[in-house]
A and B are shown apart, each in its own frame.
Chain A
Amino acid sequence: MSTQITLPRYEGSFGRRLALALRTPGGAVFVLAAVLLVAIVVSNPNFADPGSLIRFAGRTAPIAIAAMGQYYVIVSGEFDLSMAAVIAAQVVLAGNFIGQDEARILPGLVVMFAVGTLIGLINGLATTILKVPSFIVTLGMMLALTGLVRYVTGGAATGNPSDAFRNIGRGGVEGVPVVGIIPYSLLILLVLAALAVWLMRRPFGRSIVAVGDNAEAARYAGTAVWWLKTRAFILSSLSATVAGILLVGYAGVHPSVGSGYEFAAITAVVIGGVVLGGGRGWVLSAAAGAFALELLFLLLTSLGVASTWRSTVQGVIIIVAVALAGRTWRATRRPRRRGGVAPSTPPPPPSPPRAQRQETSDA
């Protein structure tokens, strides 16, 4: 792999790279989100108020965090259907373990993260060591966790965590000029997004994309595929745990909190241009996909469309997004392989085109 040193890190100017990145599905989602934002502000000028914008961002943070967690699993070529069940389980755990006792918040958080890690570990090991398709593993985990949560709670809202704990999801840094309040959930999202970008530039991130693209090749290259995928599942259920902690603040403790999140997170990831089956896509595009989806719902609301039509629009969007993304990925891939696209410096054949594109979209 000594040839890597000779590769140019970037091609072209910053503006050219940005323009190229925005033309990939992973970049186009940012344009889509911006267009939707403008449309909302035009249809409802009240929304242009920075305060309401930032509160919207805070409300969307849990789903964006869940989407970034789902991203790791999807980019490695697997599925995680257990996300909603993990959120529900963590919410109920928080409600019952922490309760009104503020001294138990910290141990409570430790327990929740431990449970999240354990669930991810089980999902990952069952997928990689037992060779059960992840669709089935996480479906089984979803059934088991949902059943367990409903059994423990009797299907009704139980437990009420202390206000200090709920404040993680509800509260924020107050007294900020212009916007008024910065929700903690938004800050957590920003920290996690920064960590995600850092992680995806680490060997872990590079190899997980490689595993998703071609697990066999990655294995021959010396990657421990089973441990990589297991870590992806752990990251996914830990993200669901964080989303659950934030949702306790917004929604309270009920076994149905988080229902629908598994498909919502997959939808967000897919709108973000990440390819199901793995190996393609950027982590922040997944988060942007979540924002685009929520913005779309908000636009429908401000246009006065009945909320029951939401899922129809979501269905149309997801099909169109994937059809277009597939077309674009195919179109951008072929010329690069034959080395005909960049006239100045033709990319060397063995270099994975994906890695290069990621460099550009990172900018």
Chain B
Amino acid sequence: MSIAVRPGRTISSTTIVFAVLVLAIVAGTIITAVNGRNFFSVGNIDNVLTTMTILGLIAVGQTLVILVGSLDLSVPFVVSLASVTAGGIMAGQTGRILPAVLVTLLIAAVIGLANGLIVSYLHVHGFIATLGTGLILAGYLASNFEGNQGAAPRAFRLLDATRIGPVPIATLIMLGCALLAILMLRRTRLGHHIYAVGGHAEVARMSGVRTATPIIAAHVICTVLSAVAGLLLLARLGVGQPTVGSQGGYDLMSIAAVVLGGTLLSGGKGNIVGTLAGVAIFAVLDNVMGVMQLNPFLKDVVRGVVIVVAVAVYARREIDRRPARFGSASPIPQEVR
């Protein structure tokens, strides 16, 4: 029943997100033109895409975690940890790139596994579980690393510097990960289970879904994608920085981007495409404010207002649509029986 209803809802929800994005781009183009510049110039597009890359990767992972009904507040510290670990292992030598990347992704996967296990087996709210693991990592980072760590060899830094046409390789990696995540959500059993558990964990369990598996998988994918983001930041900066993640505020900003993309914060409804649009809205907004030479502190004010206003527009729609899902005939308990 829910499968029959979902396509119509998804399209309409994503349509609004993209309408907002188009609106932002149009407004951005006009404002940029008034300032005597071209929004669609190669340099400017490159700027927007670069801004999108890191937050986009993290937000794709965050989407999965939110869809399954959890949250991940540990991402900024995973980003930092990935950056210092990989930087330290590489130490400027090209031959060490592969082991560094593998070790970093493995560590991230272990952190994600811990998050997932705490959420699914200890029944700790995702907010608290990942706040806790995030704090644990923060303490570890603050105690063991001070200042820049290691160095990325030139071959690794090319990852950030190389472009195919106007598109940086890093952005392509982000889009590739997003595509894989979309395929996973639409085509695999795991993807459907993520929606099922996020929609109603108890109903999913009674329908024979192992609820722990999608929760753990979503958390592992999220931290691994955050580690990829940390690796890309290492490629961009050339050195590992223990504060690079927390400075970016990626935890709350990625959640904001996901919700801006039309995904329900309580889980079970939403998609990656909307999230990418949400990230793009942030990137366009940032870019335009940069062109306007707005005070960087005022940027935060604008961001805050945009988040609340945009989500208010979708939120009203969710309320209208909610009864369709849990209709008065309440078909779900009957199916269960």
B311: which A residues are within 8 A, CB to CB? 132-133, 136
Bitwise interface map of A from 96 to 130 toward B, beta carbon under 8 Å scored 1, else 0: 00000000000000000000000000000010001
B131: which A residues are within 8 A, CB to CB? 263, 266-267, 315, 318
Partner of A81, one of B118, B252, B318: B252
Give B302 Cβ to nearest chain A Cβ, in Å. Answer: 8
C-alpha spacing A258/B140, complex, angstroms: 23
Partner of A132, one of B133, B298, B308: B308
Which residues of chain B (197-241) have a CB below 8 Å from chain A?
none
C-alpha spacing A130/B317, complex, angstroms: 10
Q: Are B124 and A139 in contact (CB under 8 A)?
A: no
Q: Does B41 contact A (CB under 8 A)?
A: no
Which residues of chain A (125-179) have a CB below 8 Å from chain B?
126, 130-133, 135-137, 139-148, 150-151, 155
Partner of A277, one of B125, B259, B319: B125
Give B16 Cβ to nearest chain A Cβ, in Å. Answer: 15
Q: A131-B318, A140-B308 are in contact. Are A311 and B135 (CB under 8 A)?
A: yes
Bitwise interface map of A from 313 to 337 toward B, beta carbon under 8 Å scored 1, else 0: 1111011001100110000000000
Give B214 Cβ to nearest chain A Cβ, in Å. Answer: 20
Partner of B128, one of A145, A150, A276, A311: A276
Q: A81-B252, A133-B265 are in contact. Are A323 and B139 (CB under 8 A)?
A: no
Give B77 Cβ to nearest chain A Cβ, in Å. Answer: 10
Partner of A313, one of B128, B139, B252, B259: B139
Interface residues on A, range: 35 or more
Q: Does A287 contact B (CB under 8 A)?
A: no
C-alpha spacing A53/B26, complex, angstroms: 61
Bitwise interface map of B from 295 to 312 toward A, beta carbon under 8 Å scored 1, else 0: 101111111110110011
Q: A133-B259, A315-B134, A316-B132 are in contact. Are A126 and B308 (CB under 8 A)?
A: yes
Q: Are B307 and A143 in contact (CB under 8 A)?
A: yes
Q: Does A310 contact B (CB under 8 A)?
A: yes
Which residues of chain A (9-44) have a CB below 8 Å from chain B?
none
Q: Does B78 contact A (CB under 8 A)?
A: no
C-alpha spacing A148/B139, complex, angstroms: 30
Q: Are A144 and B256 in contact (CB under 8 A)?
A: no
**Interface of A: prevailing SS:** helix
Partner of A140, one of B136, B142, B305: B305
Q: Are A319 and B132 in contact (CB under 8 A)?
A: yes
Partner of B316, one of A131, A141, A147, A155: A131
A145: which B residues are within 8 A, CB to CB? 304
Q: Are A135 and B265 in contact (CB under 8 A)?
A: yes
Give A293 Cβ to nearest chain B Cβ, in Å. Answer: 12
A308: which B residues are within 8 A, CB to CB? 139, 142-143
Q: Does B138 contact A (CB under 8 A)?
A: yes
Q: Are B133 and A143 in contact (CB under 8 A)?
A: no
C-alpha spacing A146/B302, complex, angstroms: 11
Q: Are B139 and A312 in contact (CB under 8 A)?
A: yes
Which residues of chain B (286-330) have a CB below 8 Å from chain A?
295, 297-305, 307-308, 311-312, 315-316, 318-319
Q: Does B40 contact A (CB under 8 A)?
A: no
Bitwise interface map of B from 121 to 158 toward A, beta carbon under 8 Å scored 1, else 0: 01111011101111111111011000000000000000
Q: Are B124 and A309 in contact (CB under 8 A)?
A: no
B125: which A residues are within 8 A, CB to CB? 276-277, 322
Q: Does B255 contact A (CB under 8 A)?
A: yes
Partner of A144, one of B133, B134, B305: B305
Q: Are A318 and B307 in contact (CB under 8 A)?
A: no
Q: Are A144 and B301 in contact (CB under 8 A)?
A: yes
Q: Are A155 and B135 in contact (CB under 8 A)?
A: no
Residue of B nearest to A149 (CB): B297
Q: Are B300 and A143 in contact (CB under 8 A)?
A: yes
C-alpha spacing A151/B294, complex, angstroms: 11
Which residues of chain B (246-267) have a CB below 8 Å from chain A?
252, 255-256, 259, 265-266
C-alpha spacing A146/B265, complex, angstroms: 23
C-alpha spacing A79/B297, complex, angstroms: 24
Q: Are A135 and B255 in contact (CB under 8 A)?
A: yes
Residue of B nearest to A146 (CB): B300
B129: which A residues are within 8 A, CB to CB? 319, 322
Q: Are A318 and B297 in contact (CB under 8 A)?
A: no
Partner of A323, one of B124, B302, B304: B124
Q: Are B316 and A322 in contact (CB under 8 A)?
A: no
Q: Are B124 and A141 in contact (CB under 8 A)?
A: no
A311: which B residues are within 8 A, CB to CB? 135-136, 138-139, 142
Partner of B312, one of A130, A266, A310, A316: A130
Q: Are B118 and A151 in contact (CB under 8 A)?
A: no
Residue of B nearest to A154 (CB): B297
Residue of A nearest to B309 (CB): A140
Interface centre among A151, A266, A326 (most CB of B within 10 A): A151
Q: Are A139 and B122 in contact (CB under 8 A)?
A: no
Q: Are B132 and A140 in contact (CB under 8 A)?
A: no
Chain A positions near chain B (C-beta within 8 angstroms): 79, 81, 126, 130-133, 135-137, 139-148, 150-151, 155, 263, 266-267, 270, 276-277, 306, 308-316, 318-319, 322-323, 326-327
In order of increasing CB-CB distance, the 4 nearest A-B pairs are: A312-B139, A147-B300, A315-B135, A143-B304
Query: Can you offer 25 A-B residue contacts whose CB atoms are under 8 A?
Result: A130-B312, A130-B315, A131-B318, A132-B315, A139-B304, A141-B308, A144-B301, A144-B305, A151-B301, A276-B127, A308-B143, A311-B135, A312-B138, A312-B139, A312-B143, A315-B133, A315-B138, A316-B132, A316-B136, A319-B118, A319-B122, A319-B132, A323-B118, A323-B122, A326-B122
| Known contacts A131-B319, A309-B143; 14 further A-B pairs (Cβ under 8 A) | A79-B127, A126-B312, A130-B315, A133-B259, A136-B259, A136-B308, A139-B255, A144-B305, A267-B131, A270-B128, A276-B127, A312-B138, A319-B128, A322-B124
